[in-house]
A = this chain, B = another copy of it.
Amino acid sequence: MSALIAIDWGTTSLRGAQLDASGRVLASRSSAQGILSVPTGQFEAVFQAHFGDWMAEPNAWCLISGMAGSRQGWQEAPYCPCPADFNTLSQHLLWLQADRIALVPGLCCSGQDALQTPDVMRGEEVQIFGALHLAACQSATLVLPGTHSKWVQVQSGRVTHFQTFMTGEVFALLSQHSILGKTIDLNGAFEEAAFLQGVDQSQTEGSVLHRCFAVRTLGLFERLSPAALASYLSGLLIGEELRCQTALSPQQPVILIGNPALTLRYTLALKHLGMACQSFGDEATWAGLHALAKHLTKPR
């Protein structure tokens, strides 16, 4: 297999890595030029500006995952419905230049509710398959924390179902733009005890819409410090995600994919509730795109 240029082109960031035939990262680059900052019709130009030198090398080719394949991106690569595996992705690549540049499609699934509310992901599917590859694992629950956290079920190498939680965005809105912002100090150090208090609180009956108001009253009655309140709110919201994972068990491995500060919080919360987990970062993206490339080029 010739050298792959692996790219994750998201809403607000653009990251790329040059991989050798074994998947080792030879070089990597990142910029803030996510798809939101690319003018209409300028995707190829921005791509060339960032990766033109890499693509000029003999036999270079490129797989691009993330929002670049959305309606607002370079070109729309329609979502593949779940259950979906590596084969599904490789069969539905959108080739922008034959055998040279392809967009990886995202996944969609139907909610298990009356409205069968759809859910979607773009970019995470590559991280999921990458992390499974790194963990040498075919069935797991995966969590991709962030602005919009994803909880994903994988069985025998197939993504069977997933759910998005607006956890990160709600944390930012509540802590910066709601009345809770008056008592919270977001610049303080992370306080594990307060975080776990929030996690415990979130496992009780009732609603997160009520529980969050405790950030105000615990501050008002000076029962938690402004810095502790930020950790407490984080525990309440991450704990709310965990409360809904009825399929979790100490036997089923949980795999976290994200930045270390965030996966640490999920690790603490999961351990607190008796669950083990392992974490991956950026390497899951490169591993996923490399494995997809290998899958594409293997003799069939």
Chain A residues proximal to chain B, CB less than 8 Å? 111, 113-115, 117-120, 148, 163-167, 169-170, 173-174, 177-179, 197, 200-201, 204-214, 217-218, 220-221, 223, 237, 240-241, 243-244, 246
| B111 lies within 8 A of A165 (CB) | no
| B200 lies within 8 A of A163 (CB) | no
| A165 lies within 8 A of B209 (CB) | yes
Q: A208-B207, A240-B207 are in contact. Are A213 and B113 (CB under 8 A)?
A: no
| B214 lies within 8 A of A117 (CB) | yes
| B163 lies within 8 A of A210 (CB) | yes
Complex Cα distance A14/B241, Å?
A: 40
Complex Cα distance A197/B111, Å?
A: 14
Q: Which of A205, A213, A241 has the most CB of B within 10 A?
A: A213
Q: A174-B173, A217-B120 are in contact. Are A244 and B207 (CB under 8 A)?
A: yes
Chain B residues with CB under 8 A of A170: 170, 174, 178, 209
Chain B residues with CB under 8 A of A243: 207
